[in-house]
A and B are shown apart, each in its own frame.
Chain A
Amino acid sequence: MSEYTITRRDFLKGTTAAALALTLGVPLNISGEQKNKTKVVLIRNPDVLNRKGKINEPIVRKMLDDAVSTLLNKNDPVEAWKTIVKPDDIVGVKSNVWTHLPTPLEIEDAIRMRLMNVGVVEKKISFDDRGVLGNRVFRQATVLINVRPLRTHHWSGIGGCIKNYVMFAPNPADYHSDSCADLGALWNLPIVKDKTRLNILVMLTPQFHNIGPHHFSKEFTWQYKGILVGTDPVALDAVGLRILEAKRRDYFGEETPLKPPAKHIALADTKHKIGTSKLKEIEIVKLGWKEELYIE
């Protein structure tokens, strides 16, 4: 563990990851040179949800295809998936079953279809959340796909790509300390290290606020109608966080930083080195609908 103490002043000085600075209400300049940036793709479609929130399956499937193809620089989605998954791979798809905002089945189905298009046999594909440690496919997995909806979280600030791997820990409570500051360490566990080929942060109806530990109200979600994909879970969380903060500013009419600050994102970068949280080092490719994007 580093002996250096990160203080609030480090974020004010800009000497460490910008993601946490966001949550302290520090204004940021996210522009920067295009060279060597981590790429994430944000795709949105105004028709992916109807007014009641029902998902249009063909549209969400196309969104995922377009996003993954763009991310992996292929014209065809199956060819894109073939660059990250081989027919003989054993694939664990780490999903999320949180009652109020689970990973939509339509997105799971879209992932399953593309994995099978690549040639992975169905019995070597498994979707799971809380049972991953007892799941044989996950224990033997050669590839992991990480997928979940973005939401605020009472103890970690947000529940995003990084936090989604907490169920791989034999004792998740070990990662609770200091508002889950060290969630990034999960990604170095042997069962997951270097296996994740794709992260999908579902932003169809993100939750931007909660009161208390397990409070949920639809009042604090909105139809963003987006999906974020990338190979870097930290970058996805940093972008997702930025969008949530902007939505909160819009909704509350003033700067309303998350509580607690989602500092695990910055520390996943600076301390655990599993990705980049600095927005000026992230290339955000934006596809589709641009209204109320909440990100530059």
Chain B
Amino acid sequence: MIFTIFMLIIFYITSETETSIIASFLPKESQGWKMSGKPRTYPDTSIYDYMNGAGEIYLAYDFKNLVVQRYVKKNSPEIIVEVFDMGVPEFAYGVFSHTQGGGNNTNIGQGSEYSAGLLYFWKERYFVCVRAEYETKESKNAVLTLGESIATKIKAEGEKPHLLNFLPYEALVENSIRYFFRHEILNYHYFVADKNILLLNNSTRAILARYKNNRDYLLLVQYPTETDACSARDNFVKIYMPEASDSGIVQMENGKWTAVSALKNYVIIIFDAVQRDYAQKKIESLTRNILQ
């Protein structure tokens, strides 16, 4: 009992400390917009109180805490800053990768985009959104300045996931890269199946990326062990492409090709390849990258 109380106190102090750290990133004003009220915090599933179902995205990346701060200026749209503590840099990158592709790069933080009043970027273990109620020339400047200021106050940088190093970069659509570990996120970007047939879980890591020209998709999943990878491959083949259990490659109903391979503790899948040879070469390219 005493131990439990002790741990709760430690947890509370830690949470408050982390919230204070995030609050220290927030400037008091930007371009005439001033802080309004105190920052509000939403740890864990209390994020639903703030953003309902949309909170699932962040929970799918093991989100820890959200700090929200409003900025106001007379006769101007309100600006809201949301700082998500994702726990580790790879999940901050993951959330950013989930969202990217909708705006223009602004070179803020370690990866950023801006569109229609919304700026989002990641740096170290934080994912940050700065959004204006509606966009004006002044609010855009204020949003970008706020973002830059916050990014500057986050001193450290985080490493990108090492899985990215395996991707073939020729013809890659870089802002199509998605990094995740839950099948809901895979289905969000490329619906595979209503059940988790690739056996994704908290111990797996995955990248989905699209390629130009042929518009095919590459999915690379890392499993804890080689046995896990083989089980996932076999399950995928059994449900998705049972007719290709030996070859690992099949032409789909839309005329495009899907190919799958398991190598060490990785599974590689090519979706929507226009030609069989292309799919096989892509698998070989990724295989070489993994074996190097």
Give 5 nearest A-B pairs by CB, closest first: A213-B54, A217-B116, A211-B102, A12-B253, A260-B188
Shortest Cβ distance from B115 into A: residue: A211
With beta carbons under 8 angstroms apart, the residue of B99, B117, B253 that contacts A9 is: B253
Q: Which chain B positions have C-beta within 8 A of A217?
A: 116-118, 134-135
Interface size of B by Cβ–Cβ distance < 8 Å? 38
- The answer to whether A6 touches B193 (Cβ under 8 A) is yes
Beta-carbon contacts under 8 Å, B4-60 to A: 45, 48, 51-57
Proximity bits, B97-108, A CB within 8 Å = 1, else 0: 001001100000
Given A173-B45, A180-B53, A217-B117, answer yes or no on A8-B103 (Cβ-Cβ < 8 Å).
no
A-B contact pairs, 10 of them (CB 8 A): A7-B239, A23-B191, A24-B191, A172-B48, A173-B48, A178-B187, A211-B99, A213-B51, A213-B54, A220-B116
Do A8 and B116 touch (CB < 8 A)?
A: no
A179 and B189 form a contact (CB under 8 A): no
In the complex the two chains form, what is the Cα distance from A211 to B56 in whole Å?
15
Contact with A along B128-149 (1 / 0, CB 8 A): 0101001100000000000000
A249 an interface residue at 8 Å Cβ cutoff?
A: no
A294 within 8 A of B: no
* B131 close to A215 (CB less than 8 A): yes
Which B residues contact A (CB, under 8 angstroms)? 45, 48, 51-57, 99, 102-103, 115-118, 120, 129, 131, 134-135, 183-184, 187-189, 191-195, 197, 239-241, 252-254
Partner of A179, one of B52, B118, B184: B184
- B53 contacts A5, C-beta separation under 8 Å: no
| Cβ-neighbour of A13 out of B54, B187, B253 (below 8 A) | B253
Bound complex: CA A288 to CA B291 (Å): 64
Q: A5-B197, A6-B194, A155-B56 are in contact. Are A211 and B103 (CB under 8 A)?
A: yes
CB–CB A178/B184 < 8 A: yes
Those of A1-35 within 8 Å (CB) of chain B: 5-9, 11-13, 20, 23-24, 26
Q: A155-B53, A215-B131, A218-B134 are in contact. List 20 more A-B contacts (CB 8 A).
A: A5-B239, A6-B194, A7-B197, A7-B240, A8-B192, A9-B252, A12-B254, A155-B56, A166-B53, A176-B56, A178-B184, A178-B187, A181-B194, A212-B131, A213-B57, A214-B51, A215-B118, A217-B117, A219-B116, A259-B188
- Cβ contact of B194, chosen from A5, A13, A175, cutoff 8 A: A5
Q: Write the chain A residue with the least CB distance to B238.
A: A5
Contact B187 A179 (CB under 8 A): yes
| A151 sits at the interface (CB 8 A) | no
Instruction: List, in ascending order, chain A residues with CB within 8 A of B129's CB.
Output: 212
With A212-B99, A212-B120 as known contacts, state yes or no: A5 contacts B187, CB within 8 Å.
no
Contacts of A215 in B (CB 8 A): 116-118, 131
Question: Which A149-169 residues have a C-beta within 8 angstroms of B?
Answer: 153-156, 166
**Contact (A212, B118) CB under 8 Å given A9-B253, A217-B135:** yes
Interface string of A226-264 (1 = CB under 8 A from B): 000000000000000000000000000000000111010
